[in-house]
Amino acid sequence: MEALFLLFALAWSGLLPFLLAGALCRSMAPTRAALLAFGIPAAVHGATTLLLEPGSRLSALPFWGIPHLILLPLLLLAAAKQSPR
């Protein structure tokens, strides 16, 4: 059951920046929206990692950091396709 919960959390961490970028794209340039959509969840997840015990902070970093770093190029690629030429 815990593996299923972790899978859903990972999927939500991947889906949230794209949903946020889509919403922000209506009010700003696509590239700026993609960077902001990356930065907001990364900052929130980073701040919540600081609330963990000192020994478990380093082990939580790859859980949220790696998916965010994988998503950044995808967000920027999607933004580049949406940008007017």
- Decide if 9 is inside a domain: no
- 14-23 as b/e, with b when 16 or more CB fall inside 10 Å? eebbeebbee
What is Dmax (Cα atoms) for the chain? 48
Residue 13: pLDDT band with limits 50, 70, 90:
confident
Residue 32: pLDDT band with limits 50, 70, 90:
very high
- Decide if 74 is inside a domain: yes
Residue 54: pLDDT band with limits 50, 70, 90:
confident
Mean pLDDT score of the chain: 83
- Decide if 84 is inside a domain: yes
- Decide if 80 is inside a domain: yes
**Predicted local confidence at residue 47, as pLDDT:** 82
The mean per-residue pLDDT over the stretch 10-30 comes to 86
Into how many domains does the chain fold? 1
The helix/strand count (H/E) of the chain reads as: 3, 0
- Decide if 22 is inside a domain: no
6, 60 in Cβ contact below 8 A?
no
Closest CA to 25 of 73, 79, 80, 85: 79
What domain range includes position 51? 38-85
The mean per-residue pLDDT over the stretch 25-51 comes to 87
